[in-house]
Amino acid sequence: MTPAASAPAIAVTGLRKSFGDQVVLDGIDLEVAEGTIFALLGPNGAGKTTTVHILSTLSAPDGGGIRVGGHDPALHPDLVRAAIGVTGQFSAVDGLLTGEENLVLMADLHHLGRVGGRRRAAELLRRFDLAEAAGKTAATYSGGMRRRLDLAMTLVGDPRIIFLDEPTTGLDPRSRRTMWQIIRRLAAGGTTIFLTTQQLDEADELADRIAVLDHGTLVAEGTAAELKSRIPGGHIQLQFADADSLDAAARALAGATPDRDALSLQVPGDGSVRSLRALLDRLDRDGLDVQELSVHTPDLDDVFFALTGHPTTGTDRTTTESTGTTGTTEKEAVR
Ligand SMILES: Nc1ncnc2c1ncn2[C@@H]1O[C@H](COP(=O)(O)OP(=O)(O)OP(=O)(O)O)[C@@H](O)[C@H]1O
Ligand SMILES: [Mg+2]
């Protein structure tokens, strides 16, 4: 455990950055405790990569106070670089080199020496389940393998703080889970992790604290539970075959909100078995014929919508990755 009095791994106040007359970061404050996972959540173009670049010394801010690993990146970039590792949004892997060669190259950059470098490369290849593929060129790796190699390269220097810019974007659900496991293990070992994601379930799954970035400002910051508590509760959605059934159900169920176009009815409820049973009993008793029922528990997508008034789709790109489960929050469809 980290002593409560220890300085935060990352502390940022009033961070500002513009490109030309486009304000990208408009006064950001955040703090990441040592050994914790912090998720910066935002849609395309929100400023996530810009934040990572500034905190990792790759780009200069226009203003604000920054401490990373206790040092100011503007004054002591070398000390910051010695404490951190960065896995960028776009791979740093050299496709023409083998997995092992990529790692040894990183080890050389960290002056680990010939023997030390090879040992470190072998250890990381094993740890990231890449030992078998070690001698193959990285261009032949799958997306998940490439992403693991990328992260392994970040860990060569044994950083205390790592930045992961969208570590799972483009990965299939299984590779995504593998990456989550790796990230959790790193944090359990005491590494501080600052990750960015567009995916609400990912932040929910991994992060101790989450900050929601929207158009250059943080619109919320807290634990997943705290963020969820800021929005209205869950509901049960009932689907009907025709308007008459919908109207009859709407009359019978107090507090329910009908949507006549969709022939659906939203009934407030926490999705517990008890409330579901009560609802089903009521529908039975009144002879109401429901076509479909689904339970909707609030998630971070709802939080984003509640906080910003718009969904998580960015404004500067029209496509989103297809791996996410961000679009729908319906669960347990029962026919
Ligand atoms: N070097 C640059 N020059 C000019 N504009 C830039 C530069 N880097 C970023 N921007 C702009 O700043 C905004 C934020 O970009 P950034 O890459 O930080 O977003 P992001 O949250 O990482 O988005 P994504 O999810 O698409 O990766 C965008 O509008 C982008 O076009
Ligand atoms: Mg980005």
The string of DSSP codes covering 133-196 is TTTSBGGGS-HHHHHHHHHHHHHTT--SEEEEESTTTT--HHHHHHHHHHHHHHHHTT-EEEEE
pLDDT beyond 80 at 269? no
Ligand 1 atom 6, closest CA: 19
Mean pLDDT of 156-177: 92
d(CA 54, CA 222): 22
pLDDT beyond 70 at 332? no
Lowest mean pLDDT of 140-144, 227-231, 246-250, name the range: 227-231
The per-residue pLDDT for 311 is 66
Q: Of all atoms in ligand 1, which is nearest to the CA of residue 59?
A: 1
Name all residues whose Cβ lies below 6 A of ligand 1: 19, 24, 42, 44-50, 89, 198, 316
Question: How far, in Å, is the centroid of ligand 1 from the Cα of 88?
Answer: 13
Mean pLDDT of 231-245: 86
Ligand 1 atom 10, closest CA: 19
Give 120 or 270, the one with higher predicted confidence: 120
d(CA 211, CA 217): 10
pLDDT beyond 90 at 135? yes
Print the SS3 string covering 74-110: CCCHHHHHHHEEEECCCCCCCCCCEHHHHHHHHHHHC
* Whether 85 contacts 116, CB under 8 Å: no
The per-residue pLDDT for 190 is 95
pLDDT beyond 50 at 116? yes
The per-residue pLDDT for 327 is 32
- The alpha carbon dihedral of 196, 198, 203, 205 has a sign of negative
What separation in angstroms does the CA of 260 have from each of 250, 328, 334? 10, 21, 21
Question: How far, in Å, is the centroid of ligand 2 from the Cα of 132?
Answer: 31
Element of type H or E holding 243: helix 243-252
Give the model confidence (pLDDT) of 40-76 as tens digits: 998 889 999 999 999 999 999 999 999 999 999 999 9
Ligand 1 atom 7, closest CA: 19
Q: Which ligand places an atom closest to the C-alpha of 48?
A: 1
Confidence of residue 188 (pLDDT cuts 50, 70, 90): very high
Q: Which ligand places an atom closest to the C-alpha of 44?
A: 1
Ligand 1 atom 12, closest CA: 24
Question: How far, in Å, is the centroid of ligand 2 from the Cα of 51?
Answer: 9
The per-residue pLDDT for 262 is 93
Q: Of all atoms in ligand 1, which is nearest to the CA of residue 316?
A: 29
Confidence of residue 224 (pLDDT cuts 50, 70, 90): confident
The per-residue pLDDT for 240 is 95
Ligand 1 atom 28, closest CA: 45
* Whether 246 contacts 265, CB under 8 Å: yes
Question: How far, in Å, is the centroid of ligand 2 from the Cα of 213?
Answer: 12
What separation in angstroms does the CA of 45 have from each of 22, 39, 48, 142? 11, 16, 7, 27
Q: Which of 207, 188, 182 is nearest to 196 (CA)?
A: 207
pLDDT beyond 90 at 189? yes
Ligand 1 atom 27, closest CA: 44
- Average pLDDT of the chain is 87
d(CA 163, CA 146): 17
What separation in angstroms does the CA of 193 have from each of 69, 157, 334? 12, 15, 39
Question: How far, in Å, is the centroid of ligand 2 from the Cα of 155?
Answer: 21
Confidence of residue 312 (pLDDT cuts 50, 70, 90): low
d(CA 215, CA 332): 34
Cross-strand partners of 211:
40, 221
